[in-house]
């Protein structure tokens, strides 16, 4: 249901019962949903339990006056954007100045005309709807931009895979492992998602490495390895001109995922926490997956060999805190690994089945 189709909710706050009844009756006839409160404290409790589009607030009330209520509403992020129209018999300039200063949107003088009340409420509700629609539009556009960035990341990651003969599944697994380790390390959901997507470009710099080096089946020479060591810098340079948060994170990952905790990594020889946490997390995810699978230059290791190696690399290659978290929660990572392997096998079966269906169709028509 769109905002314009929803029944708008209004809270009327006044210590005089007759006043509340009059306002409620008028607005209910105009198809608004109206609740009421007899004092400021009650009003603050009610707004925590429901979403309102407008508050009509008496200024002069016992216990807690309208100006104080409005001040509380405006400092709370949940209600800061909720419009407030003051109802008051006191039109003293200083009082009204205070009312506007604490965040009041408008005021209606008591006693009021029915037509004036309706007109002021309708105007404020329309403005509120416009603000909501604008906020939703901005949110949608922001989400679309982020999704476009993410899709572009994976497209670029796919180009890297084709160039370096690393599998699509490797990149996907690295993103899954990265996200899980980020969450377990205490990173927020939002930042962990950012890092997950950014990690898909950890090897983007390999686009700048010669094919004969990337595809070499044997051990690299010193000269070839030196060229291979340039790919983090090449990747960072490819991404350095973008100011988008996702690409900024990807640049950090590309540049620092081969740095080692003891300072023996490359390209800068960064040490300890001088290595960005993004680089330290992706380093663990990348190595764990790289050791698990066969590459052109090596066979895959078994899980016991991998875990033994990674434990030995604590404080050397890997951040001690992060590798402890990884090893203490290894069942979560193995679960991702197993599910991913199953998905690969299912995809292969699906592709084979689709291929066989095409062959059968061709044979049926004697083509």
What pLDDT, in 10s, does the model give residues 303-356?
Answer: 888 999 999 999 999 999 999 999 999 999 988 876 554 444 444 444 545 444
Cβ proximity of 156 and 143 under 8 Å: no
pLDDT score recorded for residue 355: 45
Active site residue 268: no
pTM above threshold 0.75? no
As beta bridge partners, residue 85 has 56, 106
What pLDDT score was predicted for residue 92? 82
Would you list the DSSP string of 202-252? Answer: TTGGGGGS-HHHHT-SSPPPHHHHHHHTTHHHHHHHHHTT--SHHHHHHHH
Q: State the Cα–Cα distance between residues 95 and 68, nearest whole angstrom.
A: 12
Q: What is the Cα gyration radius of the chain? A: 31
Give me the catalytic one of 180, 196, 206, 260: 206
Q: At 306, list the tokens.
A: 């991998």
Looking at the chain, the number of H-run helices and the number of E-run strands are 15, 5
pLDDT tens digits, 64-97? 989 999 999 999 988 998 999 998 888 788 888 8
Among residues 139, 136, 117, 125, which one has the least CA distance to residue 7? 125
Mean of per-residue pLDDT scores for the chain? 84
Strands 106-109 and 84-88 come out as: parallel
Instruction: Compute the Cα dihedral for 46, 48, 49, 50 and give only its sign.
Output: positive
pLDDT tens digits, one per residue of 136-193: 888 887 777 677 666 666 656 655 655 554 556 778 889 999 999 999 999 999 999 9
């Amino acid at each position: 249901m769109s905002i314009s189709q929803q029944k708008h909710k209004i809270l009327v706050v006044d210590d005089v019962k007759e006043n509340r009844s009059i306002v409620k009756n008028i607005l209910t006839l105009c198809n608004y949903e109206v609740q009421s409160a007899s004092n400021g404290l009650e009003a603050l409790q009610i707004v925590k339990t429901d979403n309102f589009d407008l508050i009509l607030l008496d200024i002069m009330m016992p216990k807690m006056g309208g100006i104080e209520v409005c001040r509380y509403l405006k400092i709370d992020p949940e209600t800061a954007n909720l419009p407030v129209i003051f109802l008051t018999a006191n039109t003293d300039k200083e009082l009204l100045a205070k009312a506007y200063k604490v965040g009041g949107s408008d005021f209606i003088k008591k006693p009021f005309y029915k037509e004036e009340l309706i007109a002021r409420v309708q105007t404020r509700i329309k403005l509120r709807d416009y603000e909501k629609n604008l906020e939703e539009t901005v949110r949608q556009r922001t989400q679309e931009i982020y999704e476009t960035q993410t899709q572009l990341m994976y497209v670029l990651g796919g180009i890297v895979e084709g160039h370096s003969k690393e599998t699509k599944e490797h990149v996907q697994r690295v993103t899954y492992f990265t996200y899980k380790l980020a969450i377990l390390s205490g990173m927020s959901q939002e930042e962990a998602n950012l890092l997950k997507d950014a990690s898909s470009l950890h090897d983007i710099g390999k686009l700048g490495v010669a094919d004969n080096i990337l595809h070499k089946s044997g051990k690299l020479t010193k000269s070839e390895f030196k060229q291979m060591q340039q790919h983090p810098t090449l990747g960072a340079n490819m991404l350095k001109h973008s100011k988008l948060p996702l690409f900024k994170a990807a640049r950090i990952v590309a540049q620092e995922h081969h740095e080692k905790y003891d300072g023996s990594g490359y390209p800068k020889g960064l040490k300890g926490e001088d290595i960005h946490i993004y680089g330290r997390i992706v380093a663990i995810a990348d190595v764990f997956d790289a050791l698990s699978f066969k590459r052109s230059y090596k066979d895959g290791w078994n899980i016991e060999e991998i875990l033994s190696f990674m434990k030995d690399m604590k404080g050397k290659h890997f951040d001690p805190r992060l590798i402890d978290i990884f090893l203490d929660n290894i069942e979560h990572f193995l679960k991702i690994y197993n599910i991913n392997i199953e998905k690969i096998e299912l995809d292969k079966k699906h592709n084979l089945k689709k291929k066989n269906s095409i062959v059968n169709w061709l044979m049926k028509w004697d083509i």
